[in-house]
Amino acid sequence: MPTAKTPIFIVAASDDELGLASHSVNVYSKWFEANQQAELHIYERGGHGFGMNKKNLPTDTWIDRFTDWLSMHGF
């Protein structure tokens, strides 16, 4: 029986105070190895929980990448 594809979008910052960037890479790798659709964005700076806060950093536009991804998947 075929396995359903479940896409995942992951975004993190390398300077996350909780160290979640490396965990994000691990999640991406596992998802990809399971033949699932995955997209990963790791920003150099942005800290933890950068969300929609404007910091004059590349993380300011992560939501645009997410919107593109949603559109690509027909959401």
Domain edges within the chain: 8-72
Instruction: Assess whether pLDDT exceeds 70 at residue 3.
Output: no
Task: Look up the pTM and report it.
Answer: 0.88
Distance of CA 57 to the CA centre of its chain: 16
Question: Does 2 score more than 60 pLDDT?
Answer: no
Q: Is the pLDDT of residue 57 over 60?
A: yes
For range 1-17, the mean pLDDT: 86
In eight-state DSSP terms, residue 45 is: S
| Spatial CB neighbours of 62, under 8 Å, sequence gap ≥ 6 | 11, 41, 43, 46, 50
Residue 4 predicted with pLDDT over 90? no
In degrees, to the nearest 5, what angle opens at C-alpha 30 toward C-alphas 27 and 33? 145
Kindly tell me if the per-residue pLDDT of 13 is higher than 90: yes
